[in-house]
Amino acid sequence: MPRRSPGPSVKDPELYEELREEGNSKEKSARIANAAAARGRSSVGKKGGKSPSYEDWSVADLRKKAAEVGVAGRSRMKKDDLVDALRHH
């Protein structure tokens, strides 16, 4: 089944499709593809990487971050579930 076009708001459709095939969410794929189109792919790859791994976060901090990004059911999730939900949001 062929994929549908990501829409006019995505500035780098090729990168968007690559990211979606890797399993990234539509939102995350569009955000990365648009940043790459605006600043160049290499500069986007250099940005970030300063935050500790989610495994090093407390459950309270994970729940707070999950609330910020709108993860449903976060109050009943265990740490591993919260980490997985945040990574795949």
Query: Residue ranges per domain, the chain?
Result: 13-46, 54-87
Tracing tokens 């265990």 back to the chain, one arrives at 78
Tokens representing 37 are 């189109």
pLDDT at 7: 63
User: How many residues in total does the chain contain?
Assistant: 89
Taking the model in full, what pTM does it have?
Answer: 0.48
Between residues 67 and 26, which one has the greater pLDDT? Answer: 67
Report which of 46, 30, 26, 32 is spatially closest to residue 88, judged by C-alpha positions. Answer: 26
- Cβ(5)–Cβ(26) under 8 Å? no
Mean pLDDT for the chain?
A: 82
**Tens of pLDDT along 38-76?**
777 666 655 555 667 889 999 999 999 999 999 999 999
**Is pLDDT at 19 greater than 80 in this prediction?**
yes
Between residues 3 and 36, which one has the greater pLDDT? Answer: 36
CA diameter of the chain: 41
- The vertex-27 CA angle with 61 and 8, nearest 5°, equals 160
